A and B are shown apart, each in its own frame.
Chain A
Amino acid sequence: MKVGFIGLGLMGRPMALHLEKAGHELHLWARRPESLAPFAKVNAKTHASPSEVAAHAEVVIVMVADAPDVEAVCFGVDGLAAGGKPGLIVVDMSTINPNAARSIGRRLAEKGIDFVDAPVSGGETGAINAALTVMAGGKAAAFAKVKPLLEKMGKAVTLIGDSGAGQVAKACNQILTGVGVLAVAEAFNFAAKSGVDPAKVREALLGGFAYSKILENHGQRMLDRNFKPGFKAWMHQKDLRIIMEEAHRLGLMLPSAAATAQVFNAIVGSGMGENDSISALMLLEKMSTPE
């Protein structure tokens, strides 16, 4: 299939390469030309604009940072909407506000372009190992057409519901992972300040009801004091902002997510935004230690 791919960052690059390896012809555009370098020797054509990518592809995958970026790629000058023919399917794998996703879907539909929101969980490692969890929202027919592509990048690919439903699922995912990372960091800080070895605590807890992948994986990285991303703290802050915006819009009470969002504000505000989310541990340690 002719597949457009826009957003060749930490996640997007390995995802696009999986598609190429599976025999698909890539059509690329990048804001920064150096992002195209890893594709010089594979079956990939580069283009001057998203519009040109849309004109050459049957499906275009977008993997950028936030809603304004997706909107710019779709509706900016020479955006996807300008070049896409009716029948094109745009798959946005970025994490953005569910309401923004619904609005982008409606605007593309006016041009006869299908839109599937398909955010992912699993981080850079998941992208490299083609082991992402993909949560999709959109029409069943459009999803069926792109599912084989999504399965080259992920293991669990699920259609959650209508347009925006994928982003709602991702928001739920980020509530659990955000609150979960903070809970593990709090438990480890509690143990250490009580004179108990957090490694032993983790080992014991892994066998009980407090078991989680976060305790296992993020917990191990906390013990190793390996704060390299992974998943950058500023991105988790951004995802929590989306969640809190939706909670405000819908009149929802999310007290734990709200408290967690403030900790992520502090992580970013104290200059650790480029570190992994598990830097929450460093923040808690600092806040619990005399200056």
Chain B
Amino acid sequence: MQLGFIGCGAMGRPMAEHLLRAGHALSVWSRRPESAAALIEQGARWCASPADVARHAEIVCTNVTGSGDVEGLAFGPQGLAAGLAPGSLHVDFSTTAPSAARRIAARYAATGIDFVDAPVSGGSGGAQSAALAIMWGGKSALAVRLQPIFAVLGKTIVHVGEAGAGQVAKACNQMVMVAAIEAAAEAARLATAAGVDFAKVRAAMLHGSAGSRVLEIFGGRIVAHEFAPGVEARLHHKDYALLMDEATRIGAALPVSAAVAQQLNSLMGRGWGTDDTSALLRVLEAGTGTDQA
């Protein structure tokens, strides 16, 4: 298939490589051309603008940082909309506000272009091993066209609902995951403060009812007091702004998420945004006078 790909970061690059390896023709553009160099070497075609990518592709994939970035790529000067033919498809893997995804879909629909929000979970590790969870929103009839792409990127592929539904699912994913990281950090704080080895506590919990992927992966970093990412906490902090804003917009009370968001704010305020999110432990240590920073 003729595909386009924009966004060659820690997630986007391995995803694009899987698509190349699966035999698809790939046109790419990047704000920083050097980030696309590795893909060009592997046979991708460099394009001068998003519009140029769109002219060479039936389906364009994007994986960038925020709602504004996606809207800019789609509708900015020399944007995708200027090059996409009616009947073509834009698949956005970024994490954005659900309302932004709905807005983009509606704007494309006016010119006969389809849009799918397909945020992913699994981190750069999941992207590299093609083991991502992909949660997508858009017309269900598009599933057939999306299948060959999704199948080489992820293991769990769920059509959640109409446009924006993928982003709602991603917001839920982030709430559950980061709250679990905070819970693991608080457990570590309690155990350590009580003079108990959290490594042993974690080992005991892992195969019981409190066992989870988060306790396994982030809990491991917490035990090691090793905060290299992983997932940079600033990205979770950004996601929390989206989901708390959505909660306000629809009048939903999310008391635990709100508390977690404040811990993330403190983490950012302390200057630890490029640490792994397991650095939420450092916030707890700082708050009780055992700051090791």
Contacts and interface: CB of A to CB of B under 8 A. Distances in A.
Nearest to A257: B262
Contacts of A248: 237, 240-241, 244, 261, 265
Contacts of B240: 248
A268 B265 CA distance: 25
- Top 6 A-B residue pairs of the complex, sorted by shortest distance between their CB atoms: A269-B251, A251-B269, A251-B268, A266-B253, A253-B266, A268-B251
B179 interface: no
B241 A261 contact: no
B37 interface: no
Given A253-B269, A259-B255, 16 more contacts: A244-B244, A248-B237, A248-B240, A248-B261, A250-B269, A251-B268, A251-B269, A252-B269, A253-B266, A255-B262, A258-B262, A261-B248, A262-B253, A265-B251, A265-B253, A269-B250
Nearest to B257: A262
Interface in A238-270: 241, 244-245, 247-248, 250-255, 258-259, 261-263, 265-270
A273 B237 CA distance: 28
B142 interface: no
A270 B251 CA distance: 8
B158 interface: no
Interface in B159-215: none
Interface residues of B, number: 24
B88 interface: no
B252 interface: yes
Contacts, number: 69
Interface of B: 237, 240-241, 244-245, 247-248, 250-255, 258-259, 261-263, 265-270
Specify the main secondary structure of chain A where it touches its partner. Answer: helix
Nearest to A256: B262
A251 B248 contact: no
Contact of B253 (A244, A250, A253, A263): A263
A247 B251 contact: no
B265 A265 contact: no
Interface of A: 237, 241, 244-245, 247-248, 250-255, 258-259, 261-263, 265-270, 273
A253 B262 CA distance: 5
A268 B255 CA distance: 15
B245 A241 contact: yes
B219 to A, nearest CB: 23
A273 B249 CA distance: 12
A258 B265 CA distance: 11
A269 B252 CA distance: 6
Q: Counting chain B CB atoms within 10 Å of each CB, which of A248, A252, A254 scores highest?
A: A248
Nearest to A240: B248
Contacts of B270: 251
Given A251-B266, A251-B268, A251-B269, A266 B261 contact: no
Given A248-B237, A269-B252, A262 B258 contact: yes
Nearest to A247: B265
A164 to B, nearest CB: 19
